[in-house]
Amino acid sequence: MAASSSSSCDPQLDPNTANVRPPPAAGDGWYGVAHGCTRKLGMKICGFLQKNNSLDEKGRMVGAFSQKQQLVSELSDREHFRRTETDFSNLFARDLLPAKNGEEPTMQFLLEVMDILTTYVRKTFDRSTKVLDFHHPHQLLEGMEGFNLELSDQPESLEQILVDCRDTLKYGVRTGHPRFFNQLSTGLDIIGLAGEWLTSTANTNMFTYEIAPVFVLMEQLTLKKMREMIGWPNGEGDGLFSPGGAISNMYSVMIARYKYFPEVKTKGMSAAPRLVLFTSEHSHYSITKAGAALGFGKENVILLSTDERGRVIPADLEAKIIDAKQKGYVPLFVNATAGTTVYGAFDPINDIADICEKYNLWLHVDGAWGGGLLMSRKHRHKLNGVHRANSVTWNPHKMMGVPLQCSAILVREKGILQGCNSMCAGYLFQPDKQYDVTYDTGDKAIQCGRHVDIFKFWLMWKAKGTVGFEQHIDRCLELSEYLYNKIKNRPGYEMVFQGEPQHTNVCFWYIPPGMRNMPHGEERRERLHKVAPKIKAMMMEAGTTMVGYQPQGNKVNFFRMVISNHAATRSDIDFLIDEIERLGHDL
Amino acid sequence: MAASSSSSCDPQLDPNTANVRPPPAAGDGWYGVAHGCTRKLGMKICGFLQKNNSLDEKGRMVGAFSQKQQLVSELSDREHFRRTETDFSNLFARDLLPAKNGEEPTMQFLLEVMDILTTYVRKTFDRSTKVLDFHHPHQLLEGMEGFNLELSDQPESLEQILVDCRDTLKYGVRTGHPRFFNQLSTGLDIIGLAGEWLTSTANTNMFTYEIAPVFVLMEQLTLKKMREMIGWPNGEGDGLFSPGGAISNMYSVMIARYKYFPEVKTKGMSAAPRLVLFTSEHSHYSITKAGAALGFGKENVILLSTDERGRVIPADLEAKIIDAKQKGYVPLFVNATAGTTVYGAFDPINDIADICEKYNLWLHVDGAWGGGLLMSRKHRHKLNGVHRANSVTWNPHKMMGVPLQCSAILVREKGILQGCNSMCAGYLFQPDKQYDVTYDTGDKAIQCGRHVDIFKFWLMWKAKGTVGFEQHIDRCLELSEYLYNKIKNRPGYEMVFQGEPQHTNVCFWYIPPGMRNMPHGEERRERLHKVAPKIKAMMMEAGTTMVGYQPQGNKVNFFRMVISNHAATRSDIDFLIDEIERLGHDL
């Protein structure tokens, strides 16, 4: 067990002492102890004083000493559950609340956990801490110095549980570290974290107002604010928080189908003609996945060509709509991506909306990654036309730094989510409650129970204000501009696409010195394809930083740098570039 | 702001003091302060001593006083981030980490939040605390004494954020209260709570081993244990944790379709004949919802008749299969429920499995609610035959007391989840990593990012052992037996179905004294239909307890008592009955 901090509070003062080892007794009086001056003495003094207190020996003491005792006693009394030296090796889950006398061990256990977590939080922001301590799966499975992942029939002591908590964090990845750039979701927002802790403690479910009154209202108000940012009149419309962008996108396809072919809900896809969906070849795979899952079929998800920057070419959309109609298919749905996963490209929403209006198609905007830019007066123009969408996906857990999971599906037409998904399960959603049951959201969702994803986001919005999100977004985009300007003409770098990125995505190849004079051709391509994976593997082994790479179309593996981490600074960008050059120099 | 506990640690000792107001200075020396004897004095003493310490006035002090000072100083030094009297009204989110000098305010804020949460936890288990403090939506929306749900452009102080946290909990529902019986998911498990706090702090995503190495392995090992409990040879097979039982059930329908008609993935439902699904009229609505969403159509989800206890009648299944085939439809999938939502009925899995084998149909067992009984040697026989299922839904967040969300879809055939859902998104799941990429689970899921639901469950299993879950389940079933025996012959009670319940569901009508002599008929039915809602509304207004009610088929509203809360005791059952009688006496 790591050092458990001492404090006052002799457990004998507390009725719930059964499982808590008393702190070592002070063998002598105030002055004797005082001469010791060890790290534990403070606790010993308080323990001794309170022990005497509990034995009602107060009367035998006189003058200033007695007064001091009383003071320390009162100090300890205020913080009834300050951490004490607790022996967790003899405590088990069964000793915690609701067990009899479980309050003291419960509080000591939770305070110890909290100490582990706050230490982790502090280290996360400390650049001298590694981003990760990499091990291969077989290494972790074989067991690392007492960290055994196997589950057994018999309980482990709370001491082992605390060790497991520490080890879980030790062998994990610090996604909040200022040098973690690997995903679209990075950073550790303290308010969001506090919000998520509270959500876990409340441990309830979004499906009725009855058991989540506050959270249901917060969701409603927050969705309205988001719809206002989108630009729908008076923020009218509907929406839900879903378990992630892929599910939000799936919702959009479902409600589009319900809008045009409501009979599919009852009769299945055979009641509709052959329906086709359109999305860019650079869009997130979840649109195609939704097409496959919902019974459209992958081949009826038609991929649109993009320009060099990864943006949909509107003329290609129109040509493909016409082509589909000529084949007798029925175009239903167009997805425009606001912030593609790799390039960070924004499809031209207004041009696409024109075409959707012309052909009467559902327009969905997948703003999972780019939706956050709506909070910035400087950058929101990149989503111009978004108010013309029928539905929008927007993941605050990406660009806005909200802890995972936090994704919204927003819908312009009120009532259609309910119409699409309602099964009228009267046994779950009783109509005869004493409150206004239109606040019960369960039957709108494809889920039954639904995790509370709203609170952390609501709390962050309260704490930062809209302006706080705006500053965060502007800052991340400035940082990516800094990176772009730093490497665009730097020897050894090639940009994957030309011009300043629209989002924080900066895509580039690093060309090791030994390759810089190679003629372009297949041999160079093959060798370059291996550079990013090798550098990434070395980064992970070193644990210094993490950045993503991938191929795209006919382009070999390149780095995709993204910035959503509010802890990142220019020095971290510099560090990343130094690290790539250090690790890649001899490849 | 509620009373913030004091402790030692003058912030001047810490380098990060910029935003922290020093505690009120002690105006005079040790003896002067000591005579005050107020609750705040302990803090003042320490503050005074350390202030002197930081001013390096130590040398001016002599003898025992100096020694005492040193002791208290060392005590405080051990717990660097003990809570201090912090003025949060001048602190904002922007002052927290990663802000310069943000460490101290961050720690103080998190410790304050933790105090709010641990206080909530303690009160949750205290029967003198109300289960809820009910307000109508319009009341909460109008704002309750400083609790304003509206979001604004400008940030709020951290003091307001802490008030908001307290109010959110105040106006919420204590789902862990020993007298909260409203849902299948109840209780507040301390180990699970700690696990969820850690998960929030780690804030990562299950889709690759790269960023969730430990959690991915924990998921794999835990799913294997669950498959062993199901009885699949060597625990072989596949699975995932999903955002809830409805999504897990949706997975089962998707993979059944992929198994028999893999071309649907590419070509859509038009590539398949008219497929039909079978599930009981008592089953969860998510099967029908999945049928609607996935393109089968609600009317192709055929509801099976049940016996008086709510269990599928196997002969009815066979008759309906034959009927569907005669109509030229293709039976695909049968759902057997292990623990229905309302009656807690277990469908006869072996009989259903015989029929599925005979007609070559996919057998899914929806054990969202009843799956937990597999952990009990005494009760697992209720799921006899479950090893014959092709897929199983099992929600540890229900009967096993794991915090929400925690639901597993388990599949007997390895590789089919991947085959069904894979989109080969090379740009997200790179094949050329340095580790074994079969550990990357992302492409198996219909989600892309996936919340870490495993850790709390894994930690609970470690802490309780299999035997701990068994004891929990046996105890809940004993309690429901106690309730059943208490009311089955009690005046004023009618059971909805006869005989001892199979699960913890006890379904009953309470007949107020004034109705007991009414002749059976429509008038009595109408009046009885209103009794449960009225009692429930009064319960919620009183805040004393919560229990669910609903109609079912032609049965008017009745109470459905369920027990999954490990804090509940016989006295709580007695309390519920007393409360129903007290509130319903004059109806």
Per-domain residue ranges for chain B? 11-90, 203-456
Q: Is the pLDDT of residue B447 over 80?
A: yes
Percent of chain A scoring above 90 in pLDDT: 81
The token pair at A508 is 């580039």
Mean pLDDT in residue range B446-470: 97
- Point out the least confidently predicted range of A24-38, A160-174, B354-368: A24-38
Query: What value does the mean pLDDT take over residues A464-472?
Result: 98
Residue A520, pLDDT score: 96
Q: What is the DSSP string of A266-309?
A: HH-GGGS--EEEEEETTS-THHHHHHHHTTS-GGGEEEEPB-TT
The answer to whether residue B233 scores a pLDDT higher than 50 is yes
Question: Are the CB atoms for B298 and B288 separated by under 8 Å?
Answer: yes
Q: What pLDDT is stored for residue A303 in this prediction?
A: 98
Note whether A342 contacts B: Cβ–Cβ < 8 A: yes
Average pLDDT over every residue of A520-536:
98
Domain A212-456: top CATH class = alpha beta
For the cut 90, the answer to whether the pLDDT of residue A60 exceeds it is no
pLDDT for position B432: 86
* Mean pLDDT, residues A286-309: 98
Secondary structure of residue A153 in the 3-state scheme: coil
Residues 89-148 of A with CB under 8 A from B: 92-94, 96-98, 102-103, 106-107, 109-111, 113-114, 116-118, 120-122, 125, 134-138, 140-141
Residue A200 or B73, more confident = A200
Query: From the CA of B105, how many Å to the nearest CA of chain A?
Result: 11
Judge: A447–B403 Cβ closer than 8 Å, yes or no: no
Q: Is the pLDDT of residue B159 over 80?
A: yes
Q: Is the pLDDT of residue A37 over 90?
A: no
- Over 70: is that where the pLDDT of A42 sits? no
pLDDT of residue A428: 62
- Return the percentage of chain B with pLDDT > 90, whole number: 81
Q: Look up residue A405 and give its DSSP letter.
A: P
Distances (CA, A) of A194 to A129, A190, A461, A463, B162: 22, 6, 13, 11, 10
Flag whether pLDDT at B98 surpasses 60.
Answer: yes
Mutate to test the interface with A, among B448, B453, B565 (most CBs of A within 10 A): B448
Put residue B344 in one of left, alpha, beta given phi > 0 → left and psi -120 to 50 → alpha: left
Q: Which of B70, B211, B546 sits opposite A37 (nearest CB)?
A: B70
- pLDDT for B580 equals 98
- Nearest CA to A579 out of A548, A531, A538, A529 is that of A538
Contact A193 B110 (CB under 8 A): yes
CA quadruple B219, B224, B226, B230: dihedral sign: positive
Q: Is A330 exposed, middle or buried (0-12, 13-18, 19+ CB in 10 A)?
A: middle
**pLDDT for the residue A54:** 36
Q: What is the pLDDT of residue A365?
A: 98
- Please report which confidence band the pLDDT of residue B200 belongs to, taking 50, 70 and 90 as the band edges: very high
Cβ atoms of B84 and B20 closer than 8 Å: yes
- pLDDT value of residue A4: 38
B203-456: CATH class:
alpha beta
Q: pLDDT at position A380, please?
A: 98
Neighbours of A485 (CB within 10 A): 12
Which residue, among B274, B250, B167, has the nearest Cα to B421 in the 3D structure?
B250
The partner residues of A331 in beta bridges, in order of sequence, read A276
Alpha-carbon distance of B132 to B537, in angstroms, equals 12
Q: Highest mean pLDDT: which of A17-26, A32-41, B251-260?
A: B251-260
Q: Which of B118, B213, B404 sits opposite A451 (nearest CB)?
A: B404
Question: Tokens in use for A442?
Answer: 């369960």
**Within an 8 Å CB–CB cutoff, is residue B41 touching chain A?**
yes
> Is residue B118 scored above 60 in pLDDT?
yes
Q: Which of A53-67, A190-204, A239-253, A340-354 has the lowest mean pLDDT?
A: A53-67
B-chain residues within 8 Å CB-CB of A77? 39
Is the Cβ of B358 closer than 8 Å to some Cβ of chain A?
no
**Could you tell me if A7 and B79 are in contact, meaning their C-beta atoms sit under 8 angstroms apart?**
yes
Q: What is the mean pLDDT of residues B205-216?
A: 96
Cis (ω within 30 of 0) for the bond into B551?
no
Map B307-323 to HEC letters.
Answer: CCCCCECHHHHHHHHHH
pLDDT at position B443 is 87
Residues of A in contact with B442 (CB under 8 A): none
Does B550 contact A110 at a Cβ distance shorter than 8 Å? no
B352 neighbors B197 (Cβ within 8 angstroms) = no
- Cβ of B447 under 8 Å from any chain A Cβ? yes
DSSP state of B435: S
Task: Give Cβ neighbours of residue A8 (< 8 Å, ≥ 6 apart).
Answer: A43, A46, A47, A50, A72, A73, A75, A76, A79, A82
What average pLDDT score do residues B513-522 get? 97
Looking at every residue in chain A, the average pLDDT score rounds to 88
Please determine, for residue B216, whether its predicted confidence score (pLDDT) is greater than 50: yes
Average pLDDT over residues B327-333: 98
pLDDT digits (tens, 9 = 90+) for B355-414: 999 999 999 999 999 999 999 999 999 999 999 999 999 999 999 999 999 999 999 999
pLDDT tens, A382-392?
Answer: 999 999 999 99
> C-alpha angle with apex A181: B439 to A187, nearest 5 degrees?
100
- B223 near B408, Cβ under 8 Å? yes
CA-based nearest residue to B397, from B387, B407, B410: B407
Q: How far is A360 from chain B (nearest CA, A)?
A: 22
Would you place residue B427 in the very low, low, confident or very high pLDDT band (cuts 50, 70, 90)?
A: low
List of chain A residues whose C-beta atoms are within 8 Å of the C-beta of residue B97: 121-122, 125, 190, 567
Structure tokens at B104: 């101290």
Average pLDDT value for residue range B268-291:
97
The mean pLDDT value of chain B amounts to 88
Assess whether pLDDT exceeds 90 at residue B254: yes
* Residues of A in Cβ contact (< 8 Å) with B270: 269-270, 274, 297
B314 interfacial to chain A (CB closer than 8 Å)? no
Quote the ipTM score. Answer: 0.88
Whether the CB of B42 is below 8 Å from some CB of chain A: the reply is yes
pLDDT(A309) > 90: yes
CB contact under 8 A, A42 and B76: yes
Gap from B252 CA to chain A (nearest CA, Å)? 12
Residue of A103, A217, A541 lying closest to B141 (CB–CB): A217
Q: Cβ-count burial of A54 within 10 angstroms (0-12 exposed, 13-18 middle, 19+ buried)?
A: middle
- State the pLDDT at residue A45: 37
Task: State yes or no: pLDDT of A73 exceeds 70.
Answer: no
What distance separates the 2 farthest-apart alpha carbons in chain A?
102
Report the distance separating Cα B415 and Cα B418, nearest Å: 5
Closest chain B CA to residue A293: B294
Q: pLDDT (tens digit, 9 = 90+) per residue, A100-134? A: 999 999 999 999 999 999 999 999 999 999 999 99
In this structure, is the dihedral angle defined by the CA atoms of residues A196, A202, A208 and A214, taken in order, positive or negative? negative
**Placement of tokens 């943000």 in the chain:** B102
Under 8 Å CB pairs connecting chains A and B tally to 591
Interface of A with B in 385-414 (CB under 8 A): 397, 403-405
pLDDT band for position A3 (50/70/90)?
A: very low
Using CA atoms, how far residue B366 sits from B244, B280, B340, B369, B459, in Å, is 12, 11, 9, 8, 25
From the list A533, A341, A283, the residue with the least C-alpha distance to B431 is A533
